Amino acid sequence: MPTIDWILLLEAGYGLVVLAVVLRVIYDSNSTSKTLAYLLLVILVPIVGILFYFSFGINYRKRKMYSKKLATDEIFLKQFESRIEEIKKSFSDQQFPTVDSNRSMIRLLANKNIENSPLLIHNNAEILLNGEAFFPRLIEDLKAAKQHIHLEYYIYENDVIGNEIKNILIAKVKEGVRVRFIYDDFGCRSIRKNIVVELRSAGVEIYAFNKITWIALANRMNYRNHRKMVIIDGAISYTGGINISDRYANIPQAPASKYWRDTHLRIYGDATYALQHIFLSDWNFCSQQSLTVNADFFPIIDHDDNSKLPMQIVASGPDSQVPSILYSVVKAINDAQSEILFTTPYYIPDETLQQAMILAAMSGKKVKILLPKVSDSKMVQWASQSYFEELLEAGVELYFYQKGFIHAKCFVTDSGVSSIGTCNLDHRSFDLNFEVNAIVYDTEFADKMRQIFYEDCQHAVQLNYNRWFKRTHWTRLKNSFLRLFSPLL
């Protein structure tokens, strides 16, 4: 009687499983670089590669994570649509040279197949540098809230500023203000058993955006809500790179030993409507409620003659049909006349973004990117370095911030287009995270952003091409190897 070769059977079975997963990867991904990265992982790392793919690699752009539909008060909807038409008419009756010169970008972001982001012109906006400027302004507005406060954060820490804001929220609930708070369950894991419990017991309505459970642990860790938003009484709003943490305020009690440099935006005006809509969509998903679009959330905002700052709010995530923020960045690069300046803590681009940078530089445009000299992730830093030689050869200028860690996510062009938001220049932000950026069309605002960029560059060192070209073979190998897996970082 012949003996059964169990090892051979197991190898054959595993081979069939690998083949099935390979076919699934090829079928499921529309990104060549991501497909190749997962194929390498599945084939070269037995079992673990397969588990990693099914944990982190399922394409949620095809499998919608949640519905963006909101319940609507039909009577208010007609009034609101009429108000939007008035805004559009007001816009058409006035002269906005920067808007006129960037109409193709505005139409792109207003396209219903992207995010249908309307251009909203009646706004004032303040650029807030670091927590030193942001937290006092936020606290002032929170204390003045009359009707509701909506917060959505990727990171909220149980520290000095976290507890100060917690106490304000509790006090506002006692005054009769409705407070709703969405937190990312991964990024805010340090407050689950303390601040979250205290807020909930005090009457704050608080929910994890995508609660992590053992069954869906890896997938929910992978698809993170990276948004940082506050909406107060439907008129004032904030977004940008700053989370609720002492480290952003550079105070002595902060756990981080390095200086943190970040940029945030305070908005008063109609652009708050767009951030409010994003929040309500996220709220209805994570709370399983059905808040309606009504006058309480979208009030008529008083404007003066100086409230004329045209803006679009662009959101994206694994639920979006297309990577709309990536499209906005590439479009801004293409439309810049002679200069575009980027500030980002992470640079791991897809092929589209990398080629757009190279083409712009080779076309004679000044393309400058400001990055941290030392990243908070060695693997991300090494993968990022693999893209530098191509950029330098094309004429892109790379600067490394030395004063501390630069966490701002901004760009500005000489066409008068600026962006402040939550989105990094990497695969994760464009494809996996829930993000939001504010796009501003105004030359005076762009001049301020340009000035901030060059002030930051005073604390940076430019990367020299000849020196970078002479880096060791070990560094080249390390960079090239991690680039294979860059779509997964």
Catalytic residues: 226, 228, 233, 407, 409, 414
CA atoms within 13 A on the CB side of 292: 10
Is the Cβ–Cβ distance between 326 and 348 less than 8 Å?
A: no
Q: CB atoms < 10 A from the CB of 75, how many? A: 10
Closest CA to 191 of 165, 215, 224: 165
Return d(Cα 247, Cα 224) in angstroms, integer. 21
Structure tokens, 487: 């779509």
Strand partners, 419: 411, 439
Question: Which H or E element spans position 205?
Answer: strand 205-208
For helices 160-174 and 130-144, what crossing angle results, to 10°? 10
Strands 259-261 and 404-406: parallel
Cα dihedral 352, 355, 361, 367 in deg (nearest 10): 40
Give start and end residues of each alpha helix (H) in 70-206. Answer: 74-92, 97-100, 103-110, 130-144, 160-174, 195-201
Return d(Cα 438, Cα 312) in angstroms, integer. 6
Strands 71-72 and 292-293: parallel
CA of 190: how far to CAs of 143, 203, 257, 470, in Å? Answer: 25, 20, 19, 43
Return d(Cα 392, Cα 396) in angstroms, integer. 5
Strand partners, 151: 181, 230
Angle at 341 between CA 340 and CA 345, to 5 degrees: 140
Is the Cβ–Cβ distance between 74 and 292 less than 8 Å?
A: no
Is the Cβ–Cβ distance between 149 and 172 less than 8 Å?
A: yes
Return d(Cα 397, Cα 459) in angstroms, integer. 15
Angle at 45 between CA 39 and CA 51, to 5 degrees: 80
Could you tell me how many helices (H) and strands (E) the chain has, helices first?
19, 21
Is the Cβ–Cβ distance between 351 and 380 less than 8 Å?
A: no
Closest CA to 344 of 400, 385, 390, 267: 400
Phi-psi region of 176 (alpha: psi -120 to 50; beta: other; left: phi over 0): left
Return d(Cα 63, Cα 317) in angstroms, integer. 12
